[in-house]
Homo-oligomer: A and B are copies of this chain.
Amino acid sequence: MTTDRAGTSCHACNQLQMDMSLSSPATLKSVADAAGVHLSTASRALDPARRHLIGPDVLQRVETAARELGYRRDMMAAALRTRRTRLVGLAVPDIANPVFAPIIAGLSAHLADAGYSTIVADVGADRARQKRLTDDLIARRVDGLVLATALLEDGAVAALLQASLPLVLVNRVAAGLAVPAVTSDDRLGMRLAVAHLIALGHSRIAHLAGPQQISTGRQRQEGFFAAMTAAGLDVDATSAVAATDYSVQGGEAAARKLLAAHVRPTALAAANDLLAIGALRVLRAEGLTSPGDMSVTGFNDMPLVDMINPPLTTIRIRGNEIGREAAALLLQRIASPGAAPVQRVILPDLIVRGSTAPPRD
């Protein structure tokens, strides 16, 4: 620091010290000793919110020492003291499902900006495994929990709610529980899709429904029936077949049942892109084409569905926004746990592509 040359060589030496210090991280005590102050003083000097209490010369000495030793506060030790880990747990049913990627990205970006890290738990569909992994998150004393796994009737969510741990549901809601949630407007989305098909001239429209124990499946189905009856169109028990899960295979199985109907529909509104793709596969296997023989709509606007054959008309949900909003709600929840829980609904958009067209006849 005395001359340029000394400054340069000192920089190199600081680098070395930083590297070495990582092997056995510097503690507040070692920084305080190096600066010749008490560790409580060092603690204050290194806290942006409290450094104004410190004299300029002491501040300088502590900062230099911290830099030279490569000090990094142990967030977990601090957490023990402050009772806040700044850790958030996110439970997703299947991290490989492309629907969740933008939600995870939006959520963790917003949380990171607020100084929180996100532990993503890929908890699967098995309830016991879900509970075990969620309990792990709690054992890590996360400051809050975001669940993308909720069922309509969900005892686990009810239990978590009792525990007064800040909790937010994302993408799916639970019925009859006062818990903050951020979802897409599933009813509206499906109504948009069906209205589009009706506008094209379709009247025999079937619904390839999602699992009915999940809010997305249930509400999209409600949207389907609402749109049909509002247009004065026929619906009966065979108009909708529910898939057992949101997967291409699930879509194939359900689509086969729909195709077996005595009067084949001219259009199919699926509750999800993967289901729609399953339906397209079945059509192709049966020697039928889309949109020629049957128009098909999806839901979610997953990556690449614009590139499939035919390009899928679908409902775009704003995953990133949903994730960010969930993060905001959770932060709010952490700040004031007593406040009334709010539920936010993000509006989806209809994206028209090649898989829908007027009916042939």
Q: A68-93 toward B: CB 8 Å interface, digit per residue (1/0)?
A: 00001111110110000101000000
Minimum C-beta distance from A221 to chain B (A):
25
Which residues of A (294-347) have their CB < 8 Å from a CB of B? Answer: 302-305, 307-310
Q: In whole Å, how far is A147's beta carbon from the nearest beta carbon of chain B?
A: 15
Copy number in this complex?
2
List which A64-118 residues lie within 8 A (CB) of chain B.
72-77, 79-80, 85, 87, 94-98, 101-102, 104-105, 108-109, 112, 117-118
Chain B residue nearest to A86 (CB atoms) is B140
Instruction: Give the docked Cα–Cα distance between A135 and B70 (Å).
Output: 11
A135 lies within 8 A of B76 (CB): no
CB-based contact A98/B95 at 8 Å: no
Measured CB to CB, the closest approach of chain B to A320, in angstroms, equals 8
**CB atoms of A162 and B121 under 8 A apart:** no
Say yes or no for A141: interface residue by CB 8 A criterion: yes
**Given contacts A95-B104, A304-B303, A305-B304, is CB(A141)–CB(B75) below 8 Å?**
yes
Q: Which of B19, B73, B85, B108 contacts A76 (CB 8 A)?
A: B85
The complex places the Cα of A303 from the Cα of B109 at a distance, in Å, of 24
A184 to chain B, nearest CB (A): 17
Q: Which residues of B contact A19 (CB under 8 A)?
A: 159, 162-163
**Does A119 touch B at the CB level, under 8 Å?**
yes
Contact, CB under 8 Å: A72 / B139: yes
A3 within 8 A of B: no
A33 within 8 A of B: no
Q: Across the interface, name the chain B residue whose C-beta is closest to A90.
A: B120
Q: Does A245 contact B (CB under 8 A)?
A: no
